[in-house]
Amino acid sequence: MFNFIIKRLLAMIPVLIGISLLLFFMLRMLPGDPAQVLAGQMASVEEIETIRRQLGLDRPIYEQYLLYLSRLAHLDLGRSARTQNPVIEEVWARLPNTMLLAVAAISMACLFGIPAGVISAMRPYTWVDYLVTMASLFGISMPVFWLGIMLVVVFSVILKWLPAGGTGSWQHVILPSVTLASFVVAFIARMTRSTMLETLNQDYTTTARSKGLKENVVVVKHALKNALIPIVTVVGLQFGLLLGGAVLTETVFAWPGLGRLVVDSILARDYPVIQGTILIFGLLYILVNLAVDILYAVIDPRIRYD
């Protein structure tokens, strides 16, 4: 297991290099002087010069890239052109908010998506199944920001039950996480349904039934347990969608997370923060996929990574 984790960590290196290349050239693709771009429009000549020296812009391009990598390794993502704070601090301050939203949304999505998929698969081609299937298709097609707005209209404007935005209490978390969970729940329900349809028709399920086990036990202990691997894969993959969705959801609910930070930075052309936030998003996505791989071994003892 330990060896497997090390192997997976090593396999991350090429992807990380790819990400760093992408972000490095992203800045070089912009018209004009990268030092000026990074320093922002209000920067003084001295500030621009300092950044030019830090980036080594007078040196060959490969040296500039190596310098960039060594700064990344020291977690030096530069300073925000707007606030002059180190980017890593800005990102760090908002990361917990985004994680809170993401974890709440994923938990909610599993809580509703898995049972919906199971029920759907237990009664295939009945009205319950069609209802779940249609609801998931609507969920996938729904613009997440529009759902957020509609939830605000109903629960904040008309009913006045929940706050329309901001942070501070558990009530503030409900609407954003429901919004964010909406399309993930649809994917999880679809995947659960299709894998459960397969496992419910397997020989071991028939054996379990013929032993006289109760239907609930057959479904949960025999069929669902075996269907978990594809479901976990989908949950892991959806985490990426969730990060994309977080950008929109955080904007709707004025939630101070990474998503809003990146949008505000794009609007203000604050490139160090854009680069830093997108890097962190990429890292988070890779780490979640790693966690999913490790989870496989926990869920399915047949999988051995030696």
Partner 1 sequence: MIEATEKGVCPPPHEFSTDTGLRRFCFKLRRNRAAVAGGIMLLIYLAAALLAPLLVQGDASAPNLMMALETPSPKDPLGTDELGRSILGRIIYGARVSLLIAVGVVAVGLFIGVPLGLVSGYFGGKIDFAIQRATDAMLAFPGFLLALALVSVLGVGIKNTMISIGISMVPQYIRLVRACVLTVRSEVYVEAARAAGTRDGMILWRHILPNVMVPITVQTSLSMGTAILFAAGLGFLGIGVQPPTPEWGTMLGSARNYLFHAPHVATFPGLAILLAVLSFNLLGDGLRDALDPRFKI
Residues contributing to the site for partner 1 (CB under 8 A): 14-15, 17-19, 21-23, 26, 29-30, 137-138, 140-147, 149-150, 152-153, 157, 164, 190-191, 193-194, 240-241, 243-245, 247-248, 251-252, 262-263, 265-267, 271, 274, 278, 281-282, 285-286
Do 163 and 254 meet the contact criterion of CB atoms below 8 Å apart?
no
226/265 with CB nearer partner 1: 265
Q: What is the DSSP letter of 305?
A: -
**Structure tokens belonging to residue 19:** 């990400």
208/234 with CB nearer partner 1: 234
Closest CA to 183 of 251, 78, 73, 105: 105
22/75 with CB nearer partner 1: 22
Other Cβ atoms closer than 10 A to 11: 12
Alpha helices in the chain, H assignment, sequence order = 2-29, 34-39, 45-55, 61-73, 87-122, 127-141, 144-151, 170-199, 203-210, 215-217, 225-252, 258-267, 271-299
79/190 with CB nearer partner 1: 190
Please, what is the minimum distance in Å from the beta carbon of residue 45 to partner 1? 25
Please, what is the minimum distance in Å from the beta carbon of residue 210 to partner 1? 27
Please, what is the minimum distance in Å from the beta carbon of residue 138 to partner 1? 7
208/224 with CB nearer partner 1: 224
Do 206 and 223 meet the contact criterion of CB atoms below 8 Å apart?
no
Please, what is the minimum distance in Å from the beta carbon of residue 158 to partner 1? 8
Please, what is the minimum distance in Å from the beta carbon of residue 243 to partner 1? 5
69, amino acid identity = L
